[in-house]
Amino acid sequence: MSQMGIDLVSIAPQLAVLVTAVVVLSLEMMRRPQWGIRVLIIGMTIAAGTAISMLGTHTTAFSETFRVDRLSLWAVIILSAATILCALLASAEIKGTPREGAVYALMVFGALGAMILAGSGDFMFIVLGLLIGTLSGMAMAAHPRENSSSEGAMKYFVYGSVTGAIMLFGITFWVGLTGTTLLSGLNDPNLPALVTLIGFISLVAGIGYAASLFPIHFWTPDTFEGAPVSVAAYLSVVPKIGALFALVQVLRELPVAVVDWPIILAVFAAMSMTYGNVVALWQDNVVRLLSYSTIAQSGYYLLGIIGISQSSLVLDSLIVFGAAYMLMNIGAFAITQAEGTRLENFKNISKWRPWPAVGMTVFLLSLVGMPPLAGFAGKFLLFGTAIEAGFTWLAVVAILNSTISLAVYMRIIVPMFFHESKMKSTESYAPAISVVWISTFILTIVVGIGVQWLLN
């Protein structure tokens, strides 16, 4: 087999996603959106299955510009599942609208952008992945054609344009210094510190925008609130995981001796966790509350990244927390989509729909990090990574922030069980929403128990 053939086989999961995106888009052009979602589910399942069969592979493709490794393969698995779940939510929310199929196609294209980011071995792939992912997200956020959605999409666009330009400007310094666009070119202890630092801060601006990292997060609450709830769920998970995995690929190469980037990321992590959790305490809109929660969760994610060169738990913590975050966050958004976006919509739902109330409680407690749920397993590994890397103070900050987040989520949990309200409809959820919240509910428990069993 030729080298080109070997490279194409190496990126088979990403090619499956690309083909899926093109077919779903073609079906939208033929005005067959319901066929489109079926193709989406089949195509993303094939991509995830292919990635699972390739686990253990560690190679590069196309002259080391794309990395096929544990991180990029797990990204395909997690992002494929997230895309299927969010598409199901969208089918219950935007079914019959003129651009229904376009949303499905954009979800697949956005997932492809995130997968490209997660496997980047070259700066051009980072730029390409961010462009595909963010442009898809902007179009989805503007779907309802209302003032709030247009405002949110415009903020998403403006912040993306500015941070993308800053990132490109900083990357040019790195490329000029190393003479190559390959990430491996950074692995040189003799790089000048100041210029390398400028490139690193610029990169964090571009990556942090996609990941809703403080202080590049300001688009997040308004964009989430204006977008369909299913799109908000998608934007809270897919771009974040792709962007943060891309940051890992870069920092695998950047020597700490040149730029002490772990301490810089530790400051970003502390600020994101604290800001997200504290501001969430004042939110009455559940989608905005969850948007600030996702800012805080980005901070937790950085706990794992700072230990790349020092901890053996890094990849385990990033993958487990990525899967856990996907499950619990999409599950929480699913029930929010069914019940309503205001806190008063959740009053006393335990009386009329007890199982969804239990499910929402499990998702929120998992976001806090309560055992034995998936969020606990992920945060346990993240905290362990930070401590092993010598950032015990940051782990303490994260634990304190988890306490604040409990107060945040109790603002939803308490009304569900202890606040009286008028009688609600006892009708069951739409089938697609039920599939999403029940599957994520079960997996949030199973993953949490399974990871703890493996650790023991």
Q: How far apart are the C-alpha atoms of 286 and 243, rounded to whole Å?
A: 25
User: Percentages helix, strand, coil for the chain, rounded to the nearest 5?
Assistant: 75, 0, 20
CB 32 within 8 A of CB 101: yes
pLDDT of residue 177: 83
DSSP secondary-structure letter at 97?
S
Q: Is 411 helix (H, G, I), strand (E, B) or coil?
A: helix
pLDDT tens-place values along the chain, 456 residues long: 677 888 788 889 999 999 999 999 998 888 887 888 999 999 999 999 999 999 888 888 888 889 898 899 999 999 999 999 999 999 888 887 778 888 899 999 999 999 999 998 888 999 999 999 888 888 888 877 777 778 888 888 888 888 888 888 888 888 888 888 888 888 878 888 888 888 889 999 889 888 889 888 888 888 888 888 999 999 999 999 999 999 999 988 888 888 888 999 999 999 999 999 999 988 888 999 999 999 999 999 899 888 887 767 788 888 999 999 999 999 999 999 988 888 888 888 888 888 889 999 999 999 998 888 888 888 888 888 888 888 899 999 999 998 899 999 999 998 888 867 665 656 677 888 889 999 999 999 998 888 777 766
The residue behind tokens 């619990």 is 328
**Measuring CA to CA, which residue among 90, 117, 21 is closest to residue 322?**
117
With a CB cutoff of 8 Å and minimum separation 6, the contacts of 48 are: 13, 76, 77, 80, 81
Strand partners, 11: none
Q: How far apart are the C-alpha atoms of 112 and 80, rounded to whole Å?
A: 9
Show the tokens assigned to 163: 């941070």
Domains of the chain, by residue range, sit at: 1-257, 260-456
pTM score, whole prediction: 0.92
pLDDT of residue 423: 57
